[in-house]
Amino acid sequence: MKKSVMLYDTTLRDGTQGEGVNFSSLDKIRIAQKLDDFGVDYIEGGWPGSNPKDVAFFEEAAQLTWKNAKIAAFGSTRRKDVAVDEDPQVTLLLAAHTPVITFFGKSWRLHVTEVLGTTEEENRAMIHDTTAYLKEHGREVIYDAEHFFDGYKDDPDHALATLAAARDGGADWLVLCDTNGGTMPHEVGEITEKVVKELGIAVGIHTHDDCGLGVANALASIRAGASQVQGTVNGYGERVGNCNLTSVIPNLQLKLGREVVPDLQHLRDLSLFVDDLANCAHNVRAPWVGATAFAHKGGMHVNAVQKVARSFEHEEPGKVGNRQRILVSELSGQSNVLMKAEEIGIPLEKGSAEAREILQLVKDREQEGYEFEAAEGSFELLIRKHLGTHQPFFKLHEYHCTYRRDGERNYDACSATVKLSVNGHDEYTVAEGDGPVNALDAALRKALKPFYPAVDEMELEDYKVRIIDSHQGTAAKTRVLISSTDGNESWGTVGVSGNIIQASWRALVDSIEYFLMRRRGG
């Protein structure tokens, strides 16, 4: 495959305009290096001079060696009625010392007259002068035509004239922006095709996802002749986000046959890495890279996948670094149980009494309120206990949680006591915590640590509570789902009870037992 589409990442600039997304200077460097390793062609670092973090990023980036990517600084045209060499913002773009400079200008007459408050002639001069000045200083220049599709639909001649101004100034790329994210794919395709034919210069596409069409619009533009696609990792961006690179990249490479990166198997790792640095929860339903992207739940589906994986999978999960997952629930058939058991190293014979019993046990538990899709730890323990292969690590005698009012500091302190025995040795411990679950966790670890020091290596990373039958009021059952990690792997456990403390305790005990079982080797 010949590489015909260039990747332009704007996670570090446009992506950070998304609500709740924030990166430190070090984060931005680490992400840029990850993108460079992945094979991205252009990395937009930010707006020079707009904030100290971007200044620090460009200073550090200038000292580093980049294997695949060119670093781009981002800005705007010169201001109206100001000479380009006297505009401080343009000067800062050059001072970033990047090989590429991307700047935007106005394509929509509405913005020219109502936002900028200038004439069409001056607007075109602002675009032309800025392009020519940056080219005179030896930079590769990418012109982002802001609101281009809205401008074209309003007045095609005006919008095309703004592009021509950048082309005549020497721009290397003209990027068509669907800034409001409201254009339909057929419109994007038709307009892109006209621009490519009329302007005779390399064209890129920059889309937003306000109508849920960011990726579709980008693909439509590529098929119509665009040869650069701009977007962000995980679709971060202003309002609902930008074109999602973790979706558009595999679609280009695996569906349209356009080679864009050397190895797609690192795609999911890249997605998770950026989410982690942004401190954002992973989107489990993300196409291609989400945890559920290749997950199968219905019994008939699982039965088919067991025979021929592609019967219900459009691509092999491993191509993008993902994996097939078999979910177990009340919708499960025997195939779900067999495949899930095999996945965790417990082979069961098809049609065996054991397989049927475990399937019925799962359905009975789910009737009680349990849910095992995200609780693989509890599911494995359930199977091993039913088969009689599980060896408990301790025996619980009792536990209590109490609150006390601290008059001086004026807050409620929670303490927990745990009494248990390990190999005939009794332990009775007390610990305080921010709440009952935290206190129980601390007391349980304290009791187990003399016998299992490794418990210090695991920690709870998430805790979710759901009321199952809310019509029962305060007597309703509670489902608690706990996610734990040892720094390398994560696992989920679940507990259900009419008492939220007891439900939490059950999920907590499963989490620690699962961890210790894995450390022991099953």
Rounded Cα distance between 112 and 100, Å, is: 26
Rounded Cα distance between 387 and 86, Å, is: 79
Same-domain pairing of 423 and 451: yes
What integer pLDDT is reported at residue 332 of this predicted model?
55
Residue 219 parent element (H or E): helix 214-223
Rounded Cα distance between 219 and 243, Å, is: 10
Vertex 485 angle, CA 518 and 497, to 5°: 85
Task: Judge whether 382 lies within some domain.
Answer: no
Same-domain pairing of 471 and 505: yes
Burial classification of residue 70, based on how many CB atoms lie within 10 Å of its CB (0-12 exposed, 13-18 middle, 19 or more buried)? middle
Task: Judge whether 476 lies within some domain.
Answer: yes
Same-domain pairing of 51 and 160: yes
Q: What does the DSSP 8-state code read for residue 138? A: T
The band of 327, judged by pLDDT with boundaries at 50, 70 and 90, is: low
Q: What are phi and psi of 66, to 5 degrees?
A: -110, 130
Rounded Cα distance between 37 and 261, Å, is: 10
The band of 333, judged by pLDDT with boundaries at 50, 70 and 90, is: low
What integer pLDDT is reported at residue 304 of this predicted model?
64
Task: Judge whether 289 lies within some domain.
Answer: no
Asked whether residue 372 carries a pLDDT value surpassing 70, the answer given is yes
Same-domain pairing of 338 and 228: no
CATH number (domain holding residue 435): 3.30.160.270
Cβ atoms 345, 522 nearer than 8 A = yes
Rounded Cα distance between 127 and 336, Å, is: 60
The band of 182, judged by pLDDT with boundaries at 50, 70 and 90, is: very high
Q: How many residues does the chain have?
A: 522
Q: Which of 222, 250, 278 is the last residue of a domain?
A: 278
pLDDT tens-place string over residues 228-238: 999 999 999 99
Q: Which of 278, 306, 337 is the last residue of a domain?
A: 278
Same-domain pairing of 193 and 88: yes
pLDDT tens-place string over residues 2-20: 478 999 999 999 999 998 8
Same-domain pairing of 134 and 65: yes
Greater model confidence, 48 or 476: 48
Q: What's the domain count of the chain?
A: 3
Q: Is the pTM of this model over 0.85?
A: no
Same-domain pairing of 459 and 415: yes
What integer pLDDT is reported at residue 52 of this predicted model?
86
The residue among 237, 242, 280 whose CA lies nearest residue 16 is 237
CATH number (domain holding residue 167): 3.20.20.70
Asked whether residue 1 carries a pLDDT value surpassing 50, the answer given is no
Domain ranges, residue 423: 395-520
Mean pLDDT of 193-204: 96
How distant, in Å, are the alpha carbons of 215, 252, 319, 429 from that of 255? 13, 6, 12, 59
Task: Judge whether 373 lies within some domain.
Answer: no
DSSP characters for 279-295?
Answer: T----TT-TTTSTTTTE
Greater model confidence, 266 or 462: 266
Q: What are phi and psi of 203, to 5 degrees?
A: -120, 140
The band of 352, judged by pLDDT with boundaries at 50, 70 and 90, is: confident
Task: Judge whether 377 lies within some domain.
Answer: no
Greater model confidence, 219 or 436: 219
Pairing of strands 411-422, 395-406: antiparallel
pLDDT tens-place string over residues 120-153: 999 999 999 999 999 999 999 999 999 999 999 9
Q: What is the 3-state secondary structure (H, E, C) of 417-434?
A: EEEEEECCEEEEEEEEEC
How distant, in Å, are the alpha carbons of 35, 183, 263, 435 from that of 318? 20, 34, 11, 41
pLDDT tens-place string over residues 427-485: 999 998 888 888 999 999 999 999 999 999 998 888 888 787 655 555 578 888 888 88
Pairing of strands 100-106, 140-146: parallel
Helices (H), 155-211: 156-168, 185-199
Same-domain pairing of 239 and 267: yes
Query: Percent of the chain beyond pLDDT 90?
Result: 58
Greater model confidence, 368 or 174: 174
Task: Judge whether 385 lies within some domain.
Answer: no
In whole numbers, what is the pLDDT of the chain averaged over residues?
Answer: 88
The band of 393, judged by pLDDT with boundaries at 50, 70 and 90, is: very high
Task: Give residue for tokens 């621009």.
Answer: 195
Same-domain pairing of 79 and 141: yes
Residue 174 parent element (H or E): strand 173-178
pLDDT tens-place string over residues 271-325: 988 987 887 878 888 998 987 777 776 656 656 666 666 666 678 888 888 876 6
Cβ atoms 316, 268 nearer than 8 A = no
Cα–chain center distance at 122? 42
Same-domain pairing of 166 and 226: yes
Task: Judge whether 383 lies within some domain.
Answer: no
Task: Judge whether 380 lies within some domain.
Answer: no
Cβ atoms 466, 440 nearer than 8 A = no
Same-domain pairing of 357 and 224: no
DSSP characters for 292-315?
Answer: TTTEE-SHHHHHHHHH-GGGS-SS
**How many other C-beta atoms are found inside a 10 Å radius of the C-beta of residue 136?**
12
The residue among 321, 299, 330, 322 whose CA lies nearest residue 312 is 299
What integer pLDDT is reported at residue 521 of this predicted model?
67
Same-domain pairing of 274 and 306: no
Helices (H), 16-106: 25-38, 52-61, 88-95
What integer pLDDT is reported at residue 361 of this predicted model?
83
Vertex 112 angle, CA 109 and 118, to 5°: 130
The band of 218, judged by pLDDT with boundaries at 50, 70 and 90, is: very high
pLDDT tens-place string over residues 54-82: 899 999 999 999 999 999 999 999 999 99
What integer pLDDT is reported at residue 313 of this predicted model?
67
Say which range, 43-47, 160-164, 309-313, 437-441, has the weakest mean pLDDT: 309-313
Query: Within 13 Å of residue 520, how many CA atoms lie on the same side as its CB?
Result: 15
